[in-house]
Amino acid sequence: MEGFNTFEKQDKVLLGMSGGVDSSVAVRILQEQGFSVQGAVIRFSSAHDGAVAAARETANTLQIPLHVLDAEQAFETHVITPFCENYCAGRTPNPCIICNPLVKFRLLAEKAAELGCAFIATGHYARVEVCEDGINRIAVPESAARDQSYMLYRLPQDILKKLILPLGEFEKEDIREMAREMNLACADAPDSMEICFIPDGDYSAYIRARGYSPKDGHFFGPDGSDLGPHAGVDHYTVGQRKGLGIAAGRPLFVKAILSNGDIQLAETGQEYSSRLTVADLATPDGEPLPGGEYMVKIRSAAKPVLCSYDGSGTVTFPEPVRAPAPGQSAVFYRDGLVYGGGIIDETE
Q: What is the tens place of the pLDDT at every residue in 90-104?
A: 999 999 999 999 999
What residues pair up with 127 in beta bridges, in sequence order? 139
C-alpha–C-alpha distance, residues 288 and 18, integer Å: 34
Q: What is the tens place of the pLDDT at every residue in 215-225?
A: 999 999 999 99
Q: What is the tens place of the pLDDT at every residue in 197-242?
A: 998 889 999 999 999 999 999 999 999 999 999 999 999 999 999 9
C-alpha–C-alpha distance, residues 91 and 83, integer Å: 9
C-alpha–C-alpha distance, residues 103 and 155, integer Å: 11
Can 12-181 and 272-347 be said to share one CATH topology? no
Q: What is the tens place of the pLDDT at every residue in 241-277?
A: 998 988 878 889 999 999 999 999 999 888 899 999 9
Ligand-binding annotation for 21, yes or no, is yes
C-alpha–C-alpha distance, residues 332 and 295, integer Å: 6
**pLDDT value of position 303:** 93
Residue 135: HSE in the Cβ half-sphere, 13 Å Cα cutoff: 15
Q: What is the pLDDT of the chain when averaged over all its residues?
A: 92
Every domain of the chain and the residues it spans: 12-181, 215-267, 272-347
Ligand-binding annotation for 23, yes or no, is yes
Cβ-based neighbours of 267, under 8 Å, separated by 6 or more: 222, 250, 251, 252, 253
Q: Which of the listed CATH numbers 3.50.50.60, 3.40.50.620, 3.40.50.150, 3.40.50.2300 matches domain 12-181?
A: 3.40.50.620
Beta-strand relationship, 292-297 and 329-334: antiparallel
Write down how long the chain is.
348
Q: What is the tens place of the pLDDT at every residue in 24-74?
A: 999 999 999 999 999 999 999 999 999 999 999 999 989 999 999 999 999
Ligand-binding annotation for 331, yes or no, is no
The verdict on whether 186 is a catalytic residue reads: no
The architecture in CATH of the region 215-267 reads Roll (2.30)
Q: What is the tens place of the pLDDT at every residue in 132-173?
A: 999 999 999 999 999 999 999 999 999 999 999 999 999 999
Ligand-binding annotation for 18, yes or no, is yes
**pLDDT value of position 8:** 44
Residue 306: HSE in the Cβ half-sphere, 13 Å Cα cutoff: 3
Cβ-based neighbours of 155, under 8 Å, separated by 6 or more: 100, 101, 105, 138, 163, 284
Q: What is the tens place of the pLDDT at every residue in 178-195?
A: 888 887 777 677 777 678
Ligand-binding annotation for 22, yes or no, is yes
Q: What is the tens place of the pLDDT at every residue in 285-296?
A: 999 999 999 999
C-alpha–C-alpha distance, residues 67 and 70, integer Å: 10
Options 84, 88, 99, 307, the catalytic residue: 99
Class of domain 272-347 as given by CATH: mainly beta
